[in-house]
Amino acid sequence: MSTPVQLPFEQANVVQLAPGLRDLQSQGAVHRVRTPDGKDAWLVTGHAEVRQLLDDKRLSRNNPDPAAQDSGSALLASLLGSFATDHARMRALLEPHFSPERMAELRPYVEKQTAELLDELAARRPPVDLREAVALSLPIQVMCEWLGVPQEDKDRFGGWTQDAANLGDPVRSKQGLGGLFGYCKQLVADKRQHPGDDAISRICATEGITDDEVLGLTALLLFGGYETTVARIGTSVLLLLSNEEQWQALVAEPSLIPGAVEETLRRSMPNPHNGGMPRYAVTDFEIDGVTIHTGDFVLLNIIAANHDEAAFAGAGQVDVTRDTAASLVFGHGAHHCVGAALARMQLQVVLTQLVTRFPTLRLAVGVEELTLRQDTLIGGLVRLPVTW
């Protein structure tokens, strides 16, 4: 076997695929690589292969050697909890809470909060950091409203999730996770005693569900629904503002916004840690002429897959009219992100109001001056200065 190549984690530009990753993809779909921490792995970059393996029982999320988990995978393992061990049941419990009817009920609240944030934005003198003004604030308000978390607790919760996602400080990450779980434990107990019209109360009312299961699902929803949406709002707006003709197309025709959301999500690279989704082989199998052995570490690179020219012609370009049905941004099959509808709805509302109220919105700095957060599991932009 040839010597593994070093996994290319460099991010030359926040709106372009890393050159090293692009070069690897041009050489095939499956590659033997070595991660920055010295672990040998199989990196899968082809769209068809990533799509297949995302829904393949020959791979598992669980590391056979728990002691070898890094801080990021340990965090995910803690949050997933019983969701990983009884995936089908936990998913079935969550899906009704993301139904089109539930999202329609929540949308007026999202529209109202977005309008208020943009009122505050309009009152400020540009340039303004759109990440701080909108992206950081909206998702936490929405998650609190939907889940039944008191709005006065949103800053505490936001701090815990940011700490928990920190990759550079294990102590901070552990403390954030502890704070998050401690809060959620009390929240679940309160909902058991005083249920309301919110997602946590409805989950608690499910027959046979245990407090530990509700706790795990609540923490997972709070973490996953906040940090990821913050990152996606920033990078989606950036991709449109850095492609002026696409922004202007939305200004002229706001009905294109649902497609623009899907396209910017496909092209979005909010995470500088772009190795891929970690999996472990539970049996020997072959893919793209490569034999994967039991126990092998496999990285499914969704970012590269969504830039595969075999699936998306002109994949490196933003085209708000593109057919993105094959996009893997929310996963695929049994592991398709259950919260996709909530993320999509928030992005649609934000973009609709931005193009309507700020048609002349533009970047206040060059794209080359923008950077991604390196110290967090989720990533996202450090800042997004805009003017109008």
For residue 30, the surrounding DSSP H or E stretch is strand 30-34
- The whole-angstrom separation of Cα 344 and Cα 153 is 25
CA geometry: angle at 222 spanning 237 and 71, to 5°? 90
**Positions of the chain with pLDDT lower than 50, given as ranges:** 12, 70-74, 76, 81-82
Q: In Å, how far are 9, 58, 89 from 65, measured between CA atoms?
A: 24, 17, 25
Q: How far is CA 236 from CA 126, 135, 150, in A?
A: 20, 11, 29
Radius of gyration of the chain (CA): 21
Using alpha carbons, select from 184, 114, 177 the residue that is nearest to residue 149.
184
Tell me the C-alpha distance between 191 and 45, whole Å. 44
The answer to whether 361 touches 241, Cβ cutoff 8 Å, is yes
Q: Which structure tokens are listed for 292?
A: 């994967």
Report DSSP letters for 152-180, one per residue.
GGHHHHHHHHHHHTBSS-HHHHHHHHHHH
Q: Please say whether the beta carbons of 365 and 385 come within 8 A.
A: yes
Look at residue 195 in the predicted model and tell me its pLDDT: 94
Q: What is residue 164's predicted lDDT score, i.e. its pLDDT?
A: 79
Tokens of 382: 């450090």
Q: Yes or no: say if 196 and 148 are a contact pair by the CB < 8 Å rule.
A: yes
pLDDT computed for residue 161 by the predictor: 79
Task: Specify the pLDDT at position 89.
Answer: 80
* 333 secondary structure, DSSP code: G
Provide the 8-state DSSP code for 132. Answer: I
Task: Classify strands 385-387 and 5-6 as parallel, antiparallel or unpaired.
Answer: unpaired
> Which domains are delineated in the chain?
5-387 (1.10.630.10)
Q: How far apart are CA 348 and CA 114, in angstroms?
A: 11
